[in-house]
Structures are given as structure tokens and as C-alpha cells.
Amino acid sequence: MTAATLTSKGQITIPAAVRAGLGIDVGDRVEFIEIEPGRYEVIAATQSVKALKGIIRKPNHPISIEQMNAAIAREAVKSVR
């Protein structure tokens, strides 16, 4: 198992073997995804924004701003409950 120490500033150095395994280098970003309380997964966030193109399909018909706002408001109410 590979380990690192947290500094007083809340920083850690990612060990070289882990950096190599993630395929990250100086200046790259990583994301911390909560798997369950107290357990996180570290993933490389190195994809270009262009890689996101096409992952969301176009709607069958145009949607107005008012319809979007109504849908957001409905989901916001659901998440508060």
C-alpha cells in the first residue's frame, strides 16, 4: 500500500507510483469522488472539455427558458425533501 502524509497546510504529495498509475503530471488536476462516508476515489481530471461533446443528446423539440426554469424549480423542491 502507498501512503502520504498530510501537511499543516492540508496538502499531500502524491507518490510517484500513484501519479504514474493515474497518468498525471505537473499541472494536471485530480478529482475526489466520495464512494461512501469516509471513503474517496481519486481520479485524473485530464480530459479536454472537447471530450464532452455529444454526451448529451439534443432534445426532440426546443425548450423555452421558462420551461427550463420550471424544471429546475421542480427538481430543487424534490432535493430539499
Query: Is the pLDDT confidence value at 9 over 80?
Result: yes
Q: How confident is the model at residue 81 (pLDDT cuts 50, 70, 90)?
A: low
C-alpha cell at 31: 478529482
- Return the pLDDT at 61: 87
Determine the Cα–Cα distance for residues 68 and 77; give it in Å rounded to an integer: 14
Average pLDDT, the chain: 88
* Rg, the chain, Cα only: 20
φ and ψ at 80, to 5 degrees? -80, -30
Determine the Cα–Cα distance for residues 77 and 80; give it in Å rounded to an integer: 5
- Return the pLDDT at 68: 93
